[in-house]
Chains A and B, each alone.
Chain A
Amino acid sequence: MNKVLLLAEILTVASALIVGFHPNILYASVFLLFTFCGVAVMFLFAGADFLAGAQVIIYVGGVTILILFAIMLTQWLYKIKLADIRNKMVVPALLSAAVGVFLYRALHQMVAALPPQTPEALEKFTATPKTAAIGQALLGGYLFPFEAITILLLGAMVGAVWLARPE
């Protein structure tokens, strides 16, 4: 089973690299799709089955398609100059690499501070389905953020429609 996880992680990282470095925006968007799928698999192996489903529906189904639409609407197909002129890349590359490294070291030190779970607890955690627990948590302890999110989504929807309406 761990081999599948390893493959998913390699898939995610590779496609993320392409998204980051590919000059053509269309290709970047497509590979973003693959990154999301890889992440969904990682969720599965992390015992977050409901989450993986949500990931697939929201990101893969919704956001990426939205981005593709946006690209279609803003780049003239017949003269798609899809090549995204990239200006200097050295400084941002160094910068983002440094951020990544420091972030990882910081998290790594924090990890040492928390007590690890026993392997069988890990096993039991990944096995139990989380949907019911998430449902109860959403309407129990997390009721207020849940409601706030619904209002947020409504607002975003109305805003997006108003902004994008034709003159």
Chain B
Amino acid sequence: MFPILSVMTYIPLLGMIAVLATPRNNPNLARWISVVATAIPLALGVYVYMHFDRTTASMQFVEQFDWIKPFNIQYYMGIDGLSVPMVLLTVLLSFLCVIASWGIEDGVKGYYAMFLFLETGMMGVFCALDFFLFFLFWEIMLLPMYFLIGIWGGKEKVYAAIKFFLYTLFGSVLMLLVMVGMYYYSEPHTFNLLQLAQGHQFVGKTVALFGHQLPLDKLFWIGLFIGFAIKVPVWPFHTWLPWAHVEAPTAVSVILAGVLLKMGTYGILRMNYPILPEATLWASNFMMILGVINILYGAFCAMAQKDLKKLVAYSSVSHMGYVIVGMASFTTAGVNGAVLQMFNHGTSTAMLFLLVGVVYDRVHHRWIVKPDGSKGFGGIASVVPVYTGIMAIGLFASLGLPGLSGFISEALVFLGAFSNPKFQTYVVIGSLGILLGAAYLLWMFMRVFLGPLNEEHKDLEDINWREIFTLAPLCVLVIVLGVYPMPVLNLMGTTIEKLLTLFS
């Protein structure tokens, strides 16, 4: 049977090798190879979308064979309702980002090689069903990000790259410990996630740590949660995100916001929920509080930002807060809303970052208000009308305006969270986030686009066809999913139904 998942994962790797082999003086060849290397997975992704069986919650397109026999480690790849939207998002965004980063001039070969390598890492994380394989791809994905930010980034790129790398590494160390712990404490020592999920193996056991017996499953849960929370990012661990976004080149921060943030929540849903249901129930209150803090904290900080990218970065923190609130509610609408929000946030934030990139490539600064108080951008709507139009769509999508995709997932998350009597007060507080979200995004739209034109930018030329080509699919997705979200929603329905049976 054609190993479609592995092909999708390793085509970019082949692309990378091909790109490295191209002669240095011909950057365009490298660009076209990487376009092809991302187009093929996109095509396969569409094939997977067509042939994905929506009625069953079991794994599909499975590839499973022994890899390291003595430790019972398998090369186990497969996708279900949870990972399909993420896979599609990864494939789509990678394709668009490769086209969006046409403007990179220096070190083109290195840039595209790293980018394709990153795509392999991401695909692997979403398809891996063996903890060891998952962890392997998780680390693979880290490396190219470090180089992409560290080499092609902005002024303080090295600081940002190091901070990003060490932060996530700290998380993955905890994950490693838990992985080994799980391998050791599971009856037939295994890394296979599905087997680990059977029989609540870690519930009763305790482990002696620092002199007293600690409950094993809660320990595992906290370890995994911190490892993934850093990625999401959840409130206390989020400080790497503004740095990484501000310093990363456009396409990289699109991928960072569009896909990498989702790995955290995907990880929690893939591992914490099925394997440690009791611990998840025990910590649901804790997660909900963190989610609400995320929403409000991100929104408040975003309001005070002067840099466009930092503002969007903090808005991502706020929107990921919705995902956590949705997840922690354990209701059908909530969790479905959370996974849909992961997809929608991916598309709308990708649009915002691409748009910020468009203006950054022309003017090489992103100040709404310059640090010295003078006007950064001002009233450029009159100069670049088409750009303003698309920005408005992106803006109102992430704002959660009905008719666009942002609203659907936000509404589902809040309806779901509200129908769980325990969390109603949290939702009332969290709804303040919707309000603040509108505030800082519209404030930015006003300061940058409306009002009197800032003379500095009167010769700003409008958006060109290449940029429109990258933004068009996202616009279509945002509008179509806003009107009729079922195409994505029915992908995940049955899987989430099975997942939630653990918690009712």
Direct contact of A and B (CB under 8 A): no
* Interface, chain A (partner B; CB < 8 A): none
